[in-house]
A and B are shown apart, each in its own frame.
Chain A
Amino acid sequence: MKKIPILRLNRILLVSIQEDLTDNEAMQFQSDLVNKVAEIEALGVAVDITALDVVDSYMARVINDTASMVRLLGAEVMICGIQPFVAITLIEMGRDLIGADCAFNLDQGLDMLKTRIAGRGDIRFTDDGDD
C-alpha cells in the first residue's frame, strides 16, 4: 500500500499526491493527515496534485473530503498545481468537483497559506519565527 509522505515546514504541512489512490489508501492518507494536523496543530496544509493527470470523480472526492476534514480542525487548506487538462475535464464532468481553494503551484500556495494564517492574527505562527 502506498503511503503519502507528509512533510512539515514549521506549522504548515506539505503533501504531494503523485498517483491515484485506492479506497484504502485514501482512507489511510486522510487519517494520517488529519492526525498529523491535530498533533502539531498545523495552521495550514498544502496539497500538491501537480503529478495527477487523471482526476476522476473519486479522486476529486478524496481531495475535497481531505480539505474539509483539515478545515474542520482549524487549518487552512490550499490545493496546488491542478493541470489545465485536469481543470477542463473536471468542469466538463460537472458540478463543483473541487470546492477547496487552489493555487497555481506549491510556491504560490504556500504564500497564500501564510497570508491567510497571518490574516487570522494567530500569534502562534509569528512566534515560530517563520522566515
Chain B
Amino acid sequence: MPVAAPPDTGPVARERGLHVICIRGEQHVMQAARTARQLAERLGFTRNLAYHVATATSELASNLAVHAGGGHVYLRPLAGPDGHPTGLEVIAEDQGPGIVDLTLAMTEGYSTASRLGCGLPGASRLMDEFYIRSTPGQGTHVRAVKWRQAETPEPKRAAT
C-alpha cells in the first residue's frame, strides 16, 4: 500500500518496538544494519544469528538505496508460539520501479547494477522466512523473518 513519504525526522524512528529506518541513500544502509543487529541482540539472538539478520538487512536496505531510489526498512520483534518475542521481522518497502522478473532477481549471480548478484538470494538464505512481492512501476515489498532458535516449530505462513 503506497503511503506518502513521512517527514524526515532523523534516520530511525521508534514506536512500540517498531523501528523505522528511512533509507534515502547508501549512508543509511549501515544505520539499518546496526539497528537490526542491536535489536536482534536485545531479543537474545546469538551473535551469529544477529549478524545474519544485520547482513540480510544491509542487503535489503542497500537494494532500496541503489535500485529503488530510497524506501523504508521496518524492524519489529515478533512473538513466537509461546508468546515471547523470539522473532525479528524485517520489512523493506519502496515505491521504486519494481522488479519485472522476480525469478530472475532471485537467481544467483544475476544483477542489474553490476553488483555481485547475490543480494536477494543471499538475504533469503540468511533468514528463516522470506517473502517478496513486487509490482512493476509501483514498488517492492520484502518481508523476512528470523527466529531466535535454530528450529522453529512450524513457521507461520502468515499472509503479508
Interface residues of chain A, those whose CB is within 8 Å of chain B, are: 19-20, 22-23, 53-58, 60-61, 85-86, 88-89, 92-95, 97
Contact = CB atoms under 8 A, between A and B. Distances in A.
6 interchain residue pairs of minimum CB distance: A93-B122, A22-B26, A56-B58, A85-B51, A57-B116, A20-B30
A53 B51 contact: yes
Contacts of B109: 95
25 contacts: A19-B30, A20-B33, A22-B27, A54-B30, A54-B33, A54-B37, A54-B54, A54-B55, A56-B55, A56-B58, A56-B119, A56-B122, A57-B117, A58-B115, A85-B48, A88-B48, A88-B51, A89-B51, A89-B52, A93-B55, A93-B126, A94-B118, A95-B108, A95-B109, A95-B116
A15 to B, nearest CB: 19
B152 to A, nearest CB: 17
B133 interface: no
Contacts of B117: 57
A94 B47 CA distance: 19
Interface string B51-62: 110110011001
Centre residue among A19, A56, A92, A97 by max chain B CB count within 10 A:
A56
Contacts, number: 76
Given A56-B33, A57-B118, A58-B62, A85 B125 contact: no
B68 interface: no
Interface residues of B, number: 30
A85 B47 contact: yes
The residue in A54, A55, A61, A95 that gathers the most chain B C-beta atoms within 10 A of its C-beta is A54
Given A54-B34, A58-B59, A85-B48, 15 more contacts: A20-B29, A20-B30, A22-B27, A23-B66, A53-B37, A53-B54, A54-B37, A54-B54, A56-B119, A57-B117, A57-B119, A89-B48, A92-B126, A93-B126, A97-B118
B36 to A, nearest CB: 9
B118 A54 contact: no
Contacts of B155: none
A61 B51 contact: no
Contacts of B27: 22
